[in-house]
Structures are given as C-alpha cells and as structure tokens.
C-alpha cells in the first residue's frame, strides 16, 4: 500500500495543473482563435480574395493602357478555343482558361517557362511561377499561381483558378457573353463553381 501524498506533494501537483490551465487559456486558446479568424472566417477569407482581385483588376487596366485592349478569353485569333486545363470541363472550363490568360499576360512570363522574361512588362508583381515556388525560399504564404499539367494559372487565396472572360471589341449587347462591357473577373469563393451565391465577382447581381 503506497503512502498518501504529503500536503507539499499535493500542493506541487496542484500548481502544475494550474500552470497548464493558465498556458491553455492564455496561449493556446488565443492562438486557435487567431488562426480561425485568419484562415477560416468567411469575412477574412473574402477580404483576402477581394484584395487579390483588385490587384488583378489594376494589372488589367495597366495592360489595356499599354496594349489598347484587355487580354481576350477566349481569343478570336485562336478560333475562340479556350486553353484546356486538366480537371475542368463545360462552361466553367472556359472561365478557368482565363486564369491561364491572366498568367501569360500579367505575370511577365510570356514565354511560359515559369520565370519572368527579360524585358517583359510585369503587370502584377510576384505572379510568375518561380516567385511562388518554395524552391526560391521567398515564396509568399499564399500562392498566387500554380501549374496544372503544363498550364500555368493565376489562383485566388483559396487556391482556386481565378475566373476571367473578356469579349472581343465591337461585340453588341446581344453578342456579349460577359456581364460587363469590359471583362468579367471572379473567384468562386468557398470553392463551389456551381453556386454563384458564394462567388466574389466584379459585376453586380442581375
Ligand atoms: Ca519566361
């Protein structure tokens, strides 16, 4: 039969319980709360997406000033054939192809080797694949572009391809496929491409 703990032993174990309770309350719970707000709270997540889309929007405006036109997707010069992205099909695939168009026209990696080309204009900083590669040791916490198969894509802070459509100039209202007379730019938000209610778009509800 073991001897009962002395009052000093009970006091010491009580101190440890109290100490761990304090650590749990003062360190772990705030850490958990902070990460929930940072990564899971819809408001924070949507703000991140809006800021990123605003960067892309500004890059598109700068591109138009230099080139007189927004990047087209799909492109009439290529027979309106959308770039094929593995894993996407149907109407959404055309919009997803816009993520490849945005990459090629805004990142400065026009020849699509993953690096910014010499002398090429960068319309959106750190959009090229190399800048987002862990191999360079300075990749952002939230990747801005990825490679799927052989296709480079601009991705939103949730990791989904940014959707982009732009009609050729001269389209009438009847011919137009976009909501805007300029371009449609959007994120599917929480990842459901079939539920427009979760999307973050550059057009209002209509
Ligand atoms: Ca390149």
Residue 155 lies in a domain: yes
- Domain region containing 157: 39-201
Cβ pair 45, 158 in contact under 8 A: yes
Q: Give pLDDT tens digits for 77-125.
A: 888 888 899 999 888 999 999 999 999 999 999 999 999 999 999 999 9
Residue 15 lies in a domain: no
- The arithmetic mean of pLDDT across residues 2-22, rounded, is 71
> What band does 161 get if pLDDT is binned at 50, 70 and 90?
very high
> What band does 68 get if pLDDT is binned at 50, 70 and 90?
very high
40 CA to centre of ligand 1 in angstroms: 35
How many domains does the structure of the chain reveal?
Answer: 1
54 CA to centre of ligand 1 in angstroms: 24
Residue 149 lies in a domain: yes
140 CB-near residues (< 8 Å, 6+ apart): 126, 131, 132
Structure tokens at 196: 């427009």
Q: Locate all alpha helices (DSSP H) within the chain, ordered by sequence.
A: 7-23, 29-35, 42-67, 90-106
pLDDT at 19: 80
Residue 49 lies in a domain: yes
More confident residue, 201 or 34: 201
**56 vs 114: CA distance, rounded Å:** 18
Residue 137 lies in a domain: yes
Residue 195 lies in a domain: yes
61 CA to centre of ligand 1 in angstroms: 22
Residue 8 lies in a domain: no
Residue 19 lies in a domain: no
């Amino acid at each position: 039969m073991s001897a009962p703990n002395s009052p000093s032993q009970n006091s010491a174990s009580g101190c440890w319980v109290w100490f761990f309770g304090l650590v749990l309350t003062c360190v772990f719970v705030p850490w958990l709360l902070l990460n929930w707000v940072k990564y899971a709270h819809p408001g924070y997540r949507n703000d991140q997406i809006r800021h990123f889309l605003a960067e892309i929007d500004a890059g598109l405006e700068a591109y138009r000033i230099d080139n007189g036109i927004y990047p087209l997707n799909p492109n009439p010069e290529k027979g309106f054939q959308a770039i094929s992205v593995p894993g996407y099909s149907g109407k959404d695939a055309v919009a997803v192809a816009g993520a490849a168009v945005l990459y090629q026209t805004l990142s400065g990696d026009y020849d699509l080797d993953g690096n910014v080309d010499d002398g090429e204009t960068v319309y959106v900083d750190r959009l090229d694949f190399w800048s987002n590669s862990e191999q360079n040791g300075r990749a952002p916490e939230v990747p801005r572009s990825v490679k799927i198969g052989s296709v480079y894509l601009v991705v939103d802070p949730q990791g989904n391809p940014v959707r982009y459509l732009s009609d050729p100039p001269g389209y009438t209202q009847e011919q137009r496929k976009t909501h805007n007379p300029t371009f449609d730019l959007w994120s599917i938000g929480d990842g459901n491409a079939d539920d427009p209610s979760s999307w973050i778009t550059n057009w209002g509800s209509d």
